[in-house]
Amino acid sequence: MVAVAAAQDIDVLRALASARADKILDATLFGDKGLIEKMAEENNIDIYAFDIVNEPDVKTATHAAVKMAAEGKADVIMKGFVSTSALLKTVLSKEFNLRTQNTLSHVAVLDIPGYHKLLSVTDGGMVVRPDLEQKIQILQNAILVGRALRLNPVKVAVSGTVDGFVEFDKAAADCKELMERIEKNIPEDVTIQGPLTLDAATSKKIAQIKGLTGPVVGDADIYLMHTIEECNIVAKALINFADAVFAGVIVGAKIPVSLVSRTDTVKNKKASVSLACLIAEYYKTHNQIQQGGTK
């Protein structure tokens, strides 16, 4: 069950209707009922199977949607016509106890034509300047997404402009520090390598030219980047110019949040909420998120 915060958004309604037609989800829409029904009718969107809770005020609607999830009646929260910061503030409020020990982070799962598998990139939407601790948590959150996508092993590449450790590169030093820190706690189903440039992480051919070996080169599932800018901008370059389909979710809370931007296409919005459902399913069957990590 998806609880939609301020559902009065035509493309959100379209994405939900399409995902429901594919039997991916059911949803409860919190928002301006009159407006939602008008939007659906005018645009021929089939929302009749969804419950609508009339909360015309965006703040109240958001609060009610998050409450539904906190009470265990919804498995996914989806962002509608509400700002990201207002939604996440509500999700994190003490009242709902949806926090885990991990920081919240954003994972974008990309389906890039030309790459042989999905590539999840993180964090391009949440943590501005992650320190070492936060990077580890961002990594743990991304690994959960990898597991929800039924990957085994989950192959992680840490980004860089060099391949392997070199003294002159600061990102390589940061990567080394990260690797040393997690070395003893890497779960059995996770393989991690870095630093790797995007080309070495996703192309065996390039890796070969560079003389690189290792389990992750050319076959990364997750690309962990250093800054929010790097991740956000590189992902958008792929979405805009390489026709990548993308699904963005916020992970790290007990409930996954389907985070879509107003300017995302219906296709990407549907992908986002569907991914969030898959993650919720994984949480349910593995009871993992309550332990707050992947260790």
Partner 1 sequence: MNTFKEIHAAAKEKVKNSGSFKAGILAPSRPEHFKATKRGIEEGYIAPIFLGDKDEITALLASEGLNPGDCQVIESKNPLDDGLSMAATGKVQLLMNGGITVREMADHIGRPNLHFASEGKIASHIGVMEISGYHKLLLVTDSVSVQSPQTTDRISIMENAAAVARLIGIPRAKAALLAAVEAIYPAVPVTMEEAAIAKMGERGQIKDLIIDGPLSFDCAINEEVAHQKGIKNSPVAGDTDIFITPTIETANGIYKALVMYARANAGGLIYGGKVPVATAFEVDSADNILNSIALAVLAAAG
Q: Which residues bind partner 1 (CB under 8 A)?
A: 112-115, 124-125, 128-129, 159-162, 166, 168-171, 197-200, 202-203, 206, 209-210, 225-234, 236-238, 240-242, 244, 262-263
Interatomic CA distance for residues 126 and 106, integer angstroms: 6
DSSP 104: P
Nearest to 124 by CA among 148, 105, 149: 105
Answer positive or negative: Cα dihedral of 95, 99, 101, 105: negative
- Give me the half-sphere count of Cα atoms (radius 13 Å) on the Cβ side of residue 18: 16
* Closest to partner 1 by CB, 85 or 287: 85
Q: Give the DSSP letter string of 124-152.
A: SSS-SS--HHHHHHHHHHHHHHHHHTT-S
The one-letter amino acid at 289: I
Q: In whole angstroms, how close is the CB of 125 to partner 1 at the nearest point?
A: 7
What are the start-end ranges of the E strands in the chain?
2-5, 27-31, 51-54, 76-79, 105-111, 119-122, 154-159, 190-196, 222-224, 245-251, 257-258
